[in-house]
Chain A
Amino acid sequence: MSMTTVIFYILSAILLFAAVRVVTAKNPVHAVLYLVLAFFTSSGHWLLLQSEFLAITLVLVYVGAVMVLFLFVVMMLDINIEQLREGFWRNFPVAVTVGLIMAFEMVLILTNPHTGLADYKAGAALAADASNVKVLGRQLYTTYLLPFELAAVVLLVAMVAAIGLTQRSRKDTKVVDAGDQVKVRSQDRVRIVKMQAEKNVEAADTAESGEQQA
């Protein structure tokens, strides 16, 4: 058994353990931490497949950004664990049955010679100085330049939309702006209305009748 195979089995064992713990952990914070472990271990698998760029991205994006955000949200929320775990044992037998059937089906298909798994051999080992960061980067910035830039524009639209949809000054807020208060002038608060000193009789009559109607 080569060294790579040994590492593969060790990583797989840790990955499976972490994945099971994500589902079974009582404390949601622990569940998220196990998910971090699962992601980190699967990035090890990417490394074994000589895809160092994907491995690093998985750690940076998922562990570094997404999971930290997730952890933050989980800690902020007041989650009732008892309520979440309600019905776990009741659904357990069905879940196990479904899982076993799925595993059985996969074995059935994958061991069938017609599936042709032999066509998908592991890739040949790359040269020691081969860099898939370089290859990906070259592809993205030459052949796929247009879709790549368009993806950037789509992200910009998402940002504009997110800000446009969420940023608002609440109508019921009672916060006062000190700057506005200092700048206020008497004209803004008091309105001087020019009126005739005397009213003529007819106008007064119609005004009165108007009031009565009202």
Chain B
Amino acid sequence: MNWADLNLMPALPELFMSGAILVILMLDAFISDAKRGMHYGLALLTLAVCALLQVQTYPVVPVHTFSGMFVSDALSSLVKLAMYGSTAIVLVYSRQYIADRGLLRGEFFSLALFALLGMNFMVSASSFVSLYMGLELLSLSLYSLIALQRDSVKATESAMKYFVLGALASGLLLYGISMIYGATGTLDLALVAKAIKAHTANDMLLVFGLVFIVAGLCFKLGAVPFHMWVPDVYQGSATAVTLMVGAAPKLAAFVFVLRILVQGLEAMVADWQAMLALVAVLSMAIGNITAIAQTNIKRMLAYSTISHMGFLLLGLLAGTPDGYAAALFYALIYVLMSMVSFGILLGLSRAGFECETLDDLKGLNSRNSWYALLMLLTMFSMAGVPPLAGFYAKFAVIKAIADIHLYWLAVVSVMMSLIGAFYYLRVVKNIYFDEAQDTSAIVMRADMKLVLSLNAIALLVLGVVPERVIVLCMQAMKQSLAAI
């Protein structure tokens, strides 16, 4: 490769973001504490410009650059746009919360953007090396975001747990990757796929590598039996950081899994299908059943996340383009839903008070009926009640499973979704039918109120007319997977 051949255009949004992060870091050293709000504005501006550049460079065919380690295709562009949007929304929701808790510092915004940069490289990677580097960039930023709340023992503990378990999972993943490398002699995903198809690789070694990779990936997704970190991290972190861990990274992790399993190891579909089916059933069962016993709403939502990851895997393990598109749609809708639910918790919290138990939501309707309605929409959507988006997302993945005649799996997932409906409806019951214990007024910034309302209404709109988004997902999958 010569310097003259280096095409930087496909990575333009990432390059701009890196530059903008450095500017924010530098400004942090010079501006006074009173003007810390400036970071917030700059971070949102950066995201807006990145989104604009992303739309401008939206590729017609996949473009590879950096010696084939970076790919810009419809899948990565679509997911990146969603991640810019979700990060911006998370920042809007967190603004007041972090200011009340002394977290409104330059590091919060620069680490959040670093995490996003890592996610961008994860979804755009076409080689195991760049996939892994992106993952590490994301993980390291998330660990330190959690630990940023230094005076909280719980936050420090959860950062430590996340760090130790995350390092272990990265180790498993690397071990698996090294075996695949040993068997195929290449780290490039397309070449790995070619080598496996040509049967030049040692099958035994490949299967061993696959097991380690699936274990590492399940950890990153937070699927059973590698889910232990999820509830502790969700509960221990400041709610704003929980949202940051739970929203966009799930999208990135999904594409990460897709790139490795579908683009790299597609020829071994029979092997990973069985593993993922087991993981999906366990995730749906343990996630939904354990969530019933929770009194802390952040912990409950953590278990709900685990069950949602199970549903997401259903679409993935179908092994068909329709299934992948359904899983991508599920991931997008899941991110939208988790943002509203945590957004409401962030809005109900104020200086010196954390809204985190189910009792804190009691009588929300009498305090503010609009927020109560938004929460109702989200909970119904999570439970999968039509005509909300959550219903359509569940419908699409279950249909993908039924299409490949795995009827038992479809039946199990419907049953699990019924069990899950119980604890979502309990939240609704608390909001509408219980007496409020806390009657203080709910104060939200105007921008947050607006974004939160739009975010929840999007769930309704996407539930009624999901075609446009699902067509986008289909096109992205078709274009990105056509290369194999």
Contact = CB atoms under 8 A, between A and B. Distances in A.
Interface of A: 142-147, 150-151, 153-154, 156-158, 160-161, 163-165, 168
B434 interface: no
B133 interface: yes
Interface stretch (B62-70, B77-85, B90-98, B242-250): B62-70
A154 B130 contact: no
B130 A153 contact: no
Contact of B69 (A147, A163, A165): A147
A172 to B, nearest CB: 13
B141 A157 contact: yes
Nearest to A166: B150
Mostly helix, strand, loop or mixed at chain B's interface? Answer: helix
Top-8 shortest CB links A-B: A161-B144, A164-B107, A150-B133, A146-B66, A142-B1, A143-B67, A147-B129, A146-B69
Contacts of A164: 105, 107, 111, 144, 148
B315 interface: no
Contacts of B143: 161
A143 B129 CA distance: 11
A167 B48 CA distance: 31
Nearest to A158: B140
Contact of B137 (A143, A144, A153, A163): A153
A151 B107 contact: no
Contacts of B18: 153
A142 B67 CA distance: 8
A178 to B, nearest CB: 19
A146 B11 CA distance: 11
Given A143-B1, A143-B67, A165-B150, A150 B134 contact: yes
18 contacts: A142-B1, A142-B2, A144-B69, A146-B67, A146-B69, A146-B70, A146-B121, A147-B130, A150-B121, A150-B133, A150-B137, A153-B114, A153-B117, A161-B141, A161-B147, A165-B144, A165-B147, A165-B148
Interface in B87-124: 105, 107, 110-111, 114, 117, 121
Interface in B299-319: none
B444 interface: no
A113 B335 CA distance: 56
B414 interface: no
Contacts of B190: none
B69 A157 contact: no
A154 B107 CA distance: 15
B425 interface: no
